Amino acid sequence: MTETQNSIGNIYISHRAIATIAYQATLESYGVVGLAAKNLAEGISQVLVKDPMLGVDVSFDKGKLNIDLHIIVEYGVRIKSVSSSVADNVRYKVEKSIGLPVNSVNIHVRGLRISDPD
């Protein structure tokens, strides 16, 4: 959880809130089919409970916000372009929503999926 102070009091922002913003921004990006589990345990738990933090890992390192995303990309698009677009979109949405600077957005492409098998 991160904390910011203003003249009225303190503002606490949880990892879950930041992860939800990043999750939605990722799904809005072109070429992203979905997000993937970070590990086997998360994959099994996702079957049981739908979690908006799937594939998103948020960490604070000495006051700096780092976001890791595990995505599935649509087959046929340029992976580098999609990754760059997702990183820029997530950085913009998170900074605009919570007002904290994002240090890094790391994209991990977990797989490719064919959307329309015509």
Residue range 73-114, pLDDT digits in tens: 998 899 999 999 999 999 999 999 988 889 999 999 988 888
Give the pLDDT confidence score for residue 117 in this predicted structure: 63
> What pLDDT, in 10s, does the model give residues 22-76?
999 999 999 998 888 776 555 555 545 566 677 899 998 877 899 999 999 998 8
Give the pLDDT confidence score for residue 79 in this predicted structure: 92
Residue 118 lies in a domain: no
pTM of the predicted model as reported, rounded to 2 decimal places: 0.81
Q: Residues 81, 60: contact at Cβ < 8 Å?
A: no
Residue 41 lies in a domain: yes
Helices and strands in the chain: count of H runs, count of E runs: 3, 6
Reading the block at residue 66, the tokens are: 């780092």
Range 79-109 burial, b when 16+ CB lie within 10 A, else e: eeebbebbbebbbebbeebbebebeebebeb
- CATH number (domain holding residue 68): 3.30.70.1350
Looking up tokens 């999750």, which residue turns up?
A: 23
Residue 47 lies in a domain: yes
